[in-house]
Amino acid sequence: MSAENMATSPRRGSRGRSAGFTLIELMITVVIATILLSIAIPLYLHQIRESRRTDARSALLDLAAREERYFDSNNAYTDVATNLGYVSWPQTVGSGYYQISKPTNVQAATATTPATFTLTATPIAGKGQDKDTDCQSFSVTQAGQDTSTNSASADSSSICWR
């Protein structure tokens, strides 16, 4: 081999910079990924909780409509599950994350007061939705009043029924 060829050809056994990432580059990537995940995961969980709330509210409104249909035919509201198309109380709704309890305040109309009912949905313990401290229960009355309470039993209707 000529001297010219030796100068331009790589040496065998020599250590040049190998392709890949340095430790600093990897650590920066890990830090950026951690920051993104610390923001993304709570937002994702919040969106999941909100979609489950929507399921519960929809189920309550459907049950209120069933109560109104029953009232149209019988001139009274009912707390009997089979009269409203359910098997028994409590009824699991919202993809299994909420349950609707037996209608309360079911009263027949009198000469001075209208007929009434109150429907309530609460999260099922251990399914994850019970950790939603903003919206611990949803209620609907025969007058169409939508209410909600948080984990401190304070009114959270403005947050939960939007």
> Mean per-residue pLDDT for 48-66?
94
CB proximity list for 104: less than 8 A, separation 6 or greater: 79, 117, 118, 120
Beta-bridged to residue 137, according to DSSP, are 149
Architecture per CATH, domain 22-160, reads as 2-Layer Sandwich (3.30)
> Mean per-residue pLDDT for 44-55?
91
pLDDT tens for residues 61-79?
A: 999 999 999 999 999 999 9
Residue 94: the pLDDT is 74
pTM attached to this predicted model? 0.75
Sequence letter at residue 156: S
